[in-house]
Structure 1
Amino acid sequence: MKKILLFTSISLLMLACNQKKEKIIDSNKLSTEEKKDSTNIKTLFNSALMDGKSYEWLRDLTTNIGGRLSGSPEAAQAVIWGEKLMNEVGLDSVWLQPVMVPHWVRGEKEIATYTTNGTQKNVPICALGFSVATPKSGILAEVIEVKSLEEAEALGNKMEGKIVFFNRPFDNTLINTFRAYGGCVDQRVQGATVCGKFGAKGVIVRSMTNAVDDYPHTGTMSYGNLPKEKHIPTAAISSRAANILSDDLKKNPELKFYFKQSCETLPDAPSFNVVGEIKGTETPENIFVVGGHLDSWDLGDGAHDDGTGIVQSLEVAYLFKKNNIKPKNTIRVVFFMNEENGTRGAKKYAELAKLNKENHIGGLESDAGGHTPRGFSIDANDSNTDLLKSWKKLLAPYGLHDIEKGGSGADIGPLKGENVTLVGYRPDSQRYFDYHHTSTDTFDKVNKRELELGSASMASIVYLMDKYLYNDTPVKQ
């Protein structure tokens, strides 16, 4: 027994020594510049975790202003808030960029019920953005359940006078929940376009979430090229209600569903992107954008979507200034308006950048929530993609292992070009669609440490991009 214990102890000691030796070897593999970078990245993380401001900024935005749907008074308040905050951080210049945005309003709280076996069931429901209202008395009709746009299209005139119920859930075998969302969201966006042309009376859609709960998820929808007389009311019901309704339809295919909503689209409203920058010390004509979207849906407070992205983007600039990191290129922080239902802010920003002949060489967007950092997705040419991937050894100690080619973000996407390196910040996605576009997207759902780790992660990759991308003569777009 003693020999076994002695052997075990020696084995563990050798393993510990090997692990220590491995760390030393890894450290020795770093060049002099990489060691400097490693030190600066550590400093950025220390500053974010010990002296970060993002969490309190988010508290202020979400609890004192709340949901910020484009065109709303709350969105206007958020613009004032953003401009003031950028000035307080001490950016070299801050300005507002005018943009006209859609102005859709929800109106009174929506109602939905149906009766089966003599029992009336209330259904958690919410109108989808840009939907028309029901008649004031609501609509009542039989329900046809479908799983896809193709299945609905095949019904043709059979859906006339009916409510079409799209009930395709997330594919929960997909680890990346954004892929699951992408596999379902077409029914929310295009359902009314397909069904309206065949005379359906309305559309209801299963909420876009992994969870099974009682919170309906809103989001934008479209009527495509349908004439106005074929626009039909469209709403989302909660995932649990979708499961129950589906079961009840199997037992009683002729049950009738009732819902009422009073939403409307008003004339476009004036708004702004909020823009601030730290001027570059060597090539100030080269611009890196860091941003998220200031607007949010109206049901909750827009904490994860996208309050976290807003405060993290500004904290990148705050961390640079706090640690006296002077970027070679201009670092521009942008709070984009109207990502949720139009991306008018992103389009206006790109339009003005082109008009003013600005040379954007990169961008970073945070619009995937404030959960634990996992890495970045890269939309760039092969050379710059490989360069960013080479930084894994510097970023992996902070949990940033996933640095791969992929998309960037809806707001920086219009800046895409052969010599523009666009990056999307990617936190853990497992809980994001529990809150996305719901009344539960509130400040208390955001973890302070996770948020600050995200700010530091973003600041670190901006630091590396600023230092190593386009070191030679800038390549014009």
Structure 2
Amino acid sequence: MKNIISIITVLLIAFSASAQMSLREQDSMNIRKMYDMSLMNGKSYAWLDHLSNKIGGRLSGSVNAARAVEYTKAELEQLGLDKVWLQPVMVPKWTRGAKEYAYVQPSEGPTQVVNITALGGSVATPETGLRAKVIEVQGLKDLERYGKEQIEGKIVFYNRPMQADLIHTFEAYGGCVDQRYAGAMEAAKYGAAGVIVRSMSHKIDDNPHTGSMTYGDLPNEQRIPAAAISTQDAEYLSSILKLDPEMKFYYKMNCRNYEDVESHNVIGEITGSEFPDEIIVVGGHLDSWDLGDGAHDDGAGVVQSMEVLRLFKESGIRPKRTLRVVLFMNEENGLRGGKKYAEVVKQKNENHIFALESDAGGFTPRGFSFDASPSQFKKIKSWESLFKPYLIHYFELGGAGADISPLANGNIVLAGLRPDSQRYFDYHHAATDTFEMVNKRELELGAATMASLIYLVDTYGFESIDTTKEILK
């Protein structure tokens, strides 16, 4: 009897191992199919060409943003998805106006024109421009050190650069972006007349990088104009200040804030065949800044997310769970689209189990970062070997994406595509963020990598977690 039981046990183990091998082979084949289709017959690059070159920069509340909504909705409808719709969302409207102008005026000698751009949401300078002495600081903490007596009436020049020895460039960006976002608000409290911020980029060039900023709850009459200066001109301004502390800086900006206007998130879905109430989201943000055409930030993420659903349709793989693409509006200066989507999800009590965002450029994919519980991440790590043939090796906890972050509820897994980031901030929020800077093959590899992860999540899903047990682990 013992021998029979032993034989049966051995056979069951062998059968289980064989079944697991068969599933792994099936997964490998389906992932290969995703890569082949994206690289050989992909649509992401053509979609990006249209968004970038036929529409252009898509600032929230602009005509181009509305055109992008119409275009992507029409393209999703052509894919034959089960449902495509627009989700209304109120967004801020800010316009840049005529091109900014600035120069450095030494105590003696000719003036030197420099390259600046208004920060998104900034007020304009006086109609005749703003001319004042300059005080250079290395960040928000420096303001207290100089105090009102040294700052009042001057232009505060924030010149803390992105830290060059940090390999993860997003970490370097995070280390200095507070001076762009809150610099005007904080400097105004010390009586500053305006602020100039070093562009958030490792590259030393003449292209200023815009980005969002806030005045907090400062009254309108206390708000001061805020602009970014190119890294090359930041170096120049700093060197002149050391030689000539009495020099003056002049700049003129014509930007304007308006009342909020209605825009839309663009949403399309394939209904799940077995678990339609379990929803998997993939997305990027449709809006961009207005200096370039937003090809890397975030046209790439938009078209890659659209391509994920196209690859499922074209491959004939019917998802078990509902796959939903969400093209979020207003990530750049308000995150209104992401917040509205999460608000509606909560109202409808929808069960989202996974969300993946692409918002780090269309460069070569390296892997993913996850916000997940230990047990969820353990399951994800078991899939890592399936990505090795494609040189995808980065599977790490920590960080997903801004637009999907409002979905966090302690149960959903959030993920972000992580491409090679070394060149991203060369283009981020600058006039150089254009279609020509995106490599077709890298873009398509990213789309296939996203589709492959979505395929695995759809195939195996995630069990609901017991938060208490997870903490104990």
TM-score w.r.t. length of structure 1: 0.92
Instruction: Give the alignment partner of residue 118 of structure 1, picking from 60, 84, 109.
Output: 109
Which one of 308, 313, 321 corresponds to residue 321 of structure 1? 313
* 8 A Cα contact 1:67 1:74, kept in partner: yes
Q: 2:27 aligns with which of 37, 43, 64?
A: 37
The CA distance in 2 between the partners of 1:85 and 1:437, in whole Å, is 26
Number of the residue aligned with 2:303: 311
Partner of 2:139: 148
Q: Quick one: distance in 2 between partners of 1:386 and 1:124?
A: 49
SS at match of 1:165: strand
Please report how far the alpha carbon of residue 388 of structure 1 lies from its aligned counterpart in structure 2 after TM superposition: 1.0
Q: Deviations over 1:273-315 (max 9, x none)?
A: 0000000000101101100000000011000000000000000
- 1:285–1:358 Cα contact (<8 Å) kept: yes
Equivalence map 1:453-472=2 (5 Å)? 453-470=445-462
- The equivalent position to 2:49 in structure 1, one of 48, 53, 59, is 59
2:83 is the counterpart of 1:93: yes
Structure 2 distance, partners of 1:75, 1:309, is 16
Confirm whether residue 294 of structure 1 aligns to residue 286 of structure 2.
yes
- 1:255 aligns to 2:247 (yes or no): yes
Local SS of the residue matching 1:80: helix
Change in CA separation of 1:474 and 1:98 when aligned onto 2, cut-off 3 Å: farther
Determine which of 200, 205, 209 is the counterpart of 2:197.
205
Partner of 2:8: none
Displacement of 1:380:
1.1
The CA distance in 1 between the partners of 2:440 and 2:466, in whole Å, is 39
Aligned residue type for 1:126: T
Q: Secondary structure at the match of 1:274?
A: strand
Q: Specify the alignment match of 2:6 in structure 1.
A: none
Structure 1: distance between partners of 2:274 and 2:19:
30
- Does the 8 Å contact 1:286/1:474 carry over to 2? no
Residue 378 (str. 1) matches residue 345 (str. 2): no
Equivalent of residue 265 in structure 1, options 241, 249, 257: 257
Q: Contact conserved, 1:153 with 1:194, CA < 8 A, in 2?
A: no
Q: Distance in 1 between matches of 2:394 and 2:290?
A: 32
Find the counterpart in structure 1 of residue 5 from structure 2.
none
Backbone CA RMSD of aligned residues:
1.6
DSSP 3-state at the match of 1:208: coil
Q: Answer yes or no: is 1:127 the counterpart of 2:142.
A: no
Give the corresponding residue for 1:6.
none
Q: Is the 8 A contact 1:153 1:195 kept in 2?
A: no
Tell me which residue corresponds to 2:350. Answer: 358
Aligned to 2:63: 73
> Match of 2:145, as an amino acid?
A
The letter of the residue matching 1:324 is: G
Does the CA-based 8 Å contact 2:285-2:301 persist in structure 1?
A: yes
Paired residue for 2:383, among 374, 391, 401?
391
Match of 1:218 in 2: 210
Cα distance change of structure 1 residues 281 and 474 upon mapping to structure 2, 3 Å threshold: farther
> What amino acid is the match of 1:221?
M
Letter matched to residue 176 of structure 1: H
* SS of aligned partner of 2:210: coil
Q: CA deviation at 1:474?
A: 10
Alpha-carbon distance in 1 for matches of 2:360, 2:20: 32
Per-residue CA shift, 1:78-104, capped at 9, x if unaligned? 110011010011111000000110001
Deviations 1:215-240 (A, max 9, x none): 00000001112222210000000000
Deviation at 1:391, TM superposition (A): 1.3
Name the structure 2 match of 1:137: 128
Distance 1:162 1:261 in 2: 17
Q: Which whole-Å CA distance do the structure 2 matches of 1:248 and 1:209 have between them? A: 21
Count the aligned residue pairs: 449
Which secondary structure state, in structure 2, belongs to the residue aligned with residue 143 of structure 1? Answer: strand
- Please report how far the alpha carbon of residue 29 of structure 1 lies from its aligned counterpart in structure 2 after TM superposition: 12
- Measured after TM superposition, the shift of residue 193 of structure 1 is 1.2
| Runs of at least 5 residues in structure 2 that lack an aligned partner in the other structure | 1-17, 468-473
Residue 129 of structure 1 contacts residue 220 of structure 1 at CA under 8 Å; is this kept in 2? Answer: yes
Q: CA separation in 1, counterparts of 2:283 and 2:466? A: 23
Distance (Å, rounded) in 2 between the aligned partners of 1:107 and 1:179: 32
In structure 1, list runs of 5 or more residues that go unmatched.
Answer: 1-27
Mapping for residues 219-234 of structure 1, pairs under 5 Å = 219-234=211-226
Q: How does 1:311-350 map to 2 (within 5 A)?
A: 311-350=303-342
Q: Report the AA paired with residue 454 of structure 2.
A: V
User: For each residue in 1:305-349, what CA deviation from the matched residue of structure 2 results, as whole angstroms up to 9, or x when unmatched?
Assistant: 000000000000000111111111100000000000001011110
